[in-house]
Amino acid sequence: MYKRQSGFTLVEIAIVLVIIGLLLGGVLKGQEMIANARYKSLQSDIEAYKAAFFAFQDRFGALPGDFTLASTRLNAAAPNGSAADVGNITGATCSAATDESCYVWQHLRFANLISGAPTLTSTNANPTHAYGSTMDGMFTATINGRAGVWLSVEGVPADAAARYDRELDDGVGNTGLVNCNTGCAAGVYPLNTNNISLRVNIM
């Protein structure tokens, strides 16, 4: 007599493979949704800071960070911008307590235009974004031939940075309204890095 051998049939194996495929597809789709949500959150944060900047300018007739009457118009604890360079937000990225680029966040918070403690100073004042890094202040500068006020956005994944540049500007990292400050070569966004530094033109 022949003993019947046990094992999986081709149909059973096919069913298992289909189930595995569905599970993998679900995981990948979930990861894609999470990545898109984080990107949208970053985009929303940048737009919110732009809106707060212009709301401050409309209300007080001055640039946040550069407001020389901050201690009388906002709060006695608010630092005043320098009277020696009115119309410019000095300090490049926010790195020291006396940088006007750091005062930006204090002025916007004292004016109740963004969330956070207005007493935070220096780099502690920099708000975080969806990718876990920071917005390192707003400042006046000329970047790749374009003069204006710029928002510093640090620690952005390359794919998100490139997508933002394509959607908001020209997709080239060294021209236009969105510039890749560090992490790019000749304006080309790399394939894999989580540490792109963007400069986004505010006005």
Calpha distance 100→121 (Å, rounded):
11
Query: Does 91 map to a domain?
Result: yes
* Residue 13: per-residue pLDDT: 76
Cα of first residue to Cα of last residue in the chain, in angstroms, is: 88
Within-domain flag for 11: no
Asked whether residue 6 is assigned to any structural domain, the reply reads no
The token duo for 6 is 């046990």
| b/e sequence 150-187, b meaning 16+ C-beta within 10 Å | bbbbbbbbbbbbbbbbeebbebbbebbbbbbbebbeeb
43 falls within a domain: yes
Residue 4 has pLDDT above 70, yes or no: no
Residue with tokens 């209300």: 59
Burial class (CB in 10 A: 0-12, 13-18, 19+), 40: exposed
pLDDT at 182: 85
Q: What is the pLDDT of residues 114-143, one digit of tens each?
A: 999 999 999 999 999 999 999 999 999 999
The answer as to whether 14 is a domain residue is no
Band (pLDDT 50/70/90 cuts) for residue 1 is low
Residue 1 lies in a domain: no
Query: Given the structure tokens 């189930």, which residue do they identify?
Result: 19
> What average pLDDT does the segment 152-156 reach?
96
pLDDT for position 138: 96
Residue 26, domain member (yes or no): no
Task: Give the pLDDT band of residue 33 (cuts 50, 70, 90).
Answer: confident
Domain that holds residue 175: 36-201
Proportion of the chain above pLDDT 90, given as a percent:
72
Distance CA 203, CA 200 (A): 9
pLDDT classification of 2: cutoffs 50, 70, 90: low
Mean pLDDT of the chain: 90
- In this predicted structure, the answer to whether residue 8 has a pLDDT above a threshold of 80 is no
What is the per-residue pLDDT across 164-198, written as a single tens digit (0 to 9) for each?
999 999 999 999 999 999 888 888 999 888 899 99
- Asked if residue 18 is part of any domain, the answer here is no
Task: Give residue-wise pLDDT tens across range 55-113.
Answer: 999 999 999 999 999 999 999 999 999 988 888 999 889 999 999 999 999 999 999 99
Q: How many domains does the chain have?
A: 1
